[in-house]
Chain A
Amino acid sequence: MLYIQILLNGLMLGGLYACIAVGFSLVWGVLNVINIMHGSFVVLGSYIAYFAYVHLGVHPFFSIVLSGGALFVLGYALQAGLINRVVGAPVLTTLVLTFGLDLLLNNAMLLAFSADYRTVRLENPFGSLIVADLVIPLNRLYGMLLAGALTALLYMVLMRSRMGRAIVAVRMDSEAAALMGVNVKRIFALTFGIGALMAGAAGSLLSLIFPISPIASTDFLGIAFVVCVLGGLGSIAGAMVGGLALGVIQSFGALFIGPQHGLTIAFILLIILLIFKPTGIMGRRGYE
């Protein structure tokens, strides 16, 4: 029973990890831009959810629309206005640009919201479901399910819509896509916007679970990075599998070797994977 409980803990944690990483993976895969701002986007989404709940009474599950929408606009504007200018440059250039923008965004949040930790405390907390001595915290369960639904929606958009097919086409070969009449710069901006939207939505969901502070952004960025590399870059299924794998490995690592080594185990596995299967668990198969 203990192992089932640890597995459940790991899966629920992994679902949240996947939710953090999906947008990051999409941007990295399509634009070849490592978006250092991703962690700060998640935190900004959490703040939007926090203030929407405290001042307007909007439940964080519904403020996804607000945080996702706001972050989409911010992401689209940043890509169209700034990052598009250097998107073809070597990866270090875009890395430095997003790093600089992250310093600006993160310090602006520190000034605006201070570094104090806040949490969304619901008037009617979800509580936990107890089934045969297994405890399932409902906020994590619902958060994970909602994240899964959002990710599935994104997958459908990429699969079925004209815009989604254009993104996939740019991802596969941007020059060929341009020859077919796709406005590549616009697709870049849309993709970056969608990546930011997913980060903002993740922030809303996480506001119920993790303490909110601008300082948390580096933790989220680190998680997104590991999940992407673990699962395979640029694929939504990869982000899901990578997230779940990291959550489960970390939980069992903490159980067997001690909580201070949970992350160490995950990173050791990551190094082994990079040596033997550098494309990650799901390989590099794109968004088809």
Chain B
Amino acid sequence: MTTRLFDHVRIVTAGVMLVGTCLTSAGAVAQETIRVGAPLPLTGPLSPEGIKQKRGYDLWAKTVNEAGGITVGEGTYEVEIIYVDYESNTPRAVQSAERLITEDEVNFLFSPFGSGAAKAASSVSERYRIPTIAATASSEQVYDQGYKFLFGTFTPNSTLTDPLAEIVAGSSEDIQTVAIYARNDLFPLAIAEEMRISANEKGYEIVAFDEYSIGTVDHASTLTLMRRSQPDWIFATGYINDLILIRQQMTDLGVEPKVLTMIAGPAYKEFIEATGSAAENVSSAAWWHPAVSYEGEGIFGATSDYVAAFEAEYGSLPDYAEASASAAGVILQLAIEESGSIDPEAVRDTLTQMDATTFYGPIRFGETGQITSLEPPVFQIQGGAPVVIYPEAVKQADMLYGDIQ
């Protein structure tokens, strides 16, 4: 009797151990991870931008892992994003990218912030043949290096300035002169140059093209000159702190153009909060806006679902930089799943052939790796909130002229 009881105990124990072993090995499969490196400016002058990008990536990774991970062939992988803070220092961004590839052995890379750093770091990922997605680089100079492993989610700068010039030219307003005021920095200057081309094509007279240096705390001299020359349209570029200050000083000095376009601040809610009623009728353009609507594939589904998920996580609406970062994750995930492998060459080949629609919009990359399928929205602050003016499919209101005080 004792022996039989002992046998039972043994059988049960063996059974428990067997189940335990199975569970452990199942656990081991689920614990396999895809590592994605993300060098970001989490401190220093670019940290507001870096933190936005991180929020976008984090939301994607969290959503993927909660849904059970990425399916690759018959297995699933968890996502782990490895961040390195490069302190807004571009040379350090390049070192960080190399460290992520060689020491942390990441499978894929998300580019550092902006065109300049993304371009600098792309040479590293190309050398190690690591597929890299740039979520915040628009300038064509980033993609024209003949690299095979770099993909970008922002269309060229001209896709922002051409529709703006088109809309204003198509209005009944008498607008003839344009003054351009640009931060002397890669993206702000590049988009100002594009604006000059777009405005010239529409026959506008460029009465001034001025640059200001990074860290400028006063714009009074330029604005005083603008007050005298009274351009119909002022096009100012820079980052959010520059544009808040320029907008305030315009009010102080009584500069009141019929059209005021600012890139890239008004897309952020902080701009409207900081400038209040002075934000009214400021027009801008960005690569994405929460008002666009796409029935997307991928983890987030439709645009409205993504916006809801973002609001639930962070308590605010996503802006284009945050959405683009999440989209970079979705694109990578779609490419891995379609390849059925995490082999870098296979994923790269899938990315070049990709033809999908996500919450962010349709995704197709051109020969240089830069996205060609997006139609970036033009918007204007009306009644304290951004409303979409263009494209027609998602238009919410007509552009308003004047009343810029």
- Chain A hits for B252, CB < 8 A: 128, 135, 137, 139-140
- Chain A hits for B387, CB < 8 A: none
Q: Shortest distance in angstroms between A33's beta carbon and chain B's nearest beta carbon?
A: 25
Contact in complex: A2, B241 (CB < 8 Å): no
Q: Which residues of chain B in 177-234 are interfacial with respect to chain A, using CB atoms and an 8 Å cutoff? A: 181, 184, 210-213, 215-222, 224-225, 227-228
User: In this assembly, does A130 line the interface, its C-beta being within 8 Å of a C-beta of chain B?
Assistant: yes
Q: Please tell me which stretch of B68-76, B269-277, B288-296 contacts chain A, meaning at least 4 of its Cβ atoms lie within 8 angstroms of it.
A: B269-277
Q: Shortest distance in angstroms between B238's beta carbon and chain A's nearest beta carbon?
A: 12
Contact with A along B242-254 (1 / 0, CB 8 A): 0011001100111
Q: Shortest distance in angstroms between B243's beta carbon and chain A's nearest beta carbon?
A: 9
Say yes or no: A117-B43 contact (C-beta < 8 A), given A259-B222, A260-B212, A262-B216. Answer: no
Q: Please tell me which stretch of B44-52, B106-114, B305-313 contacts chain A, meaning at least 4 of its Cβ atoms lie within 8 angstroms of it.
A: B44-52
- Chain B hits for A13, CB < 8 A: 218, 220
Contact in complex: B227, A259 (CB < 8 Å): no
Contact in complex: A9, B224 (CB < 8 Å): yes
User: In this assembly, does B240 line the interface, its C-beta being within 8 Å of a C-beta of chain A?
Assistant: yes
Return the chain B residue nearest A118 by Cβ. B274
| CA A55 to CA B93, docked complex, whole Å | 40
By size class, the interface of chain B is 35 or more
Q: Shortest distance in angstroms between B361's beta carbon and chain A's nearest beta carbon?
A: 27
- Chain A hits for B215, CB < 8 A: 219, 222, 263
- Chain B hits for A218, CB < 8 A: 45
- Partner of A117 from B44, B184, B211, B270 at Cβ < 8 Å: B270
Contact in complex: A254, B221 (CB < 8 Å): yes
Contact in complex: B218, A215 (CB < 8 Å): no
How many interface residues does A have (CB within 8 Å)?
Answer: 43
| CA A267 to CA B46, docked complex, whole Å | 25
Contact in complex: A116, B48 (CB < 8 Å): yes
Q: Shortest distance in angstroms between B275's beta carbon and chain A's nearest beta carbon?
A: 7
Contact in complex: B253, A135 (CB < 8 Å): yes
Return the chain B residue nearest A215 by Cβ. B45
Q: Which residues of chain A in 61-120 are interfacial with respect to chain B, using CB atoms and an 8 Å cutoff? A: 107, 110, 114-119
Contact in complex: B221, A262 (CB < 8 Å): yes
| CA A60 to CA B307, docked complex, whole Å | 37
Contact in complex: B253, A260 (CB < 8 Å): no
Return the chain A residue nearest B47 by Cβ. A115
- Chain A hits for B47, CB < 8 A: 110, 115, 215
| CA A252 to CA B225, docked complex, whole Å | 12
Contact in complex: B216, A5 (CB < 8 Å): no
Contact in complex: B210, A130 (CB < 8 Å): no
Q: Which residues of chain A in 253-287 are interfacial with respect to chain B, using CB atoms and an 8 Å cutoff? A: 254-255, 258-264
Return the chain B residue nearest A208 by Cβ. B248
Contact in complex: B228, A2 (CB < 8 Å): yes
- Chain A hits for B216, CB < 8 A: 259, 262-263
- Partner of A107 from B43, B45, B218 at Cβ < 8 Å: B43
| CA A40 to CA B245, docked complex, whole Å | 19
Contact in complex: A251, B245 (CB < 8 Å): no
- Chain B hits for A159, CB < 8 A: none
Which residue numbers of A lie inside 8 Å of B, CB to CB?
A: 2, 5-6, 9, 13, 107, 110, 114-119, 121, 128, 130, 135, 137, 139-140, 209-211, 213, 215-216, 218-219, 222-223, 247, 250-252, 254-255, 258-264
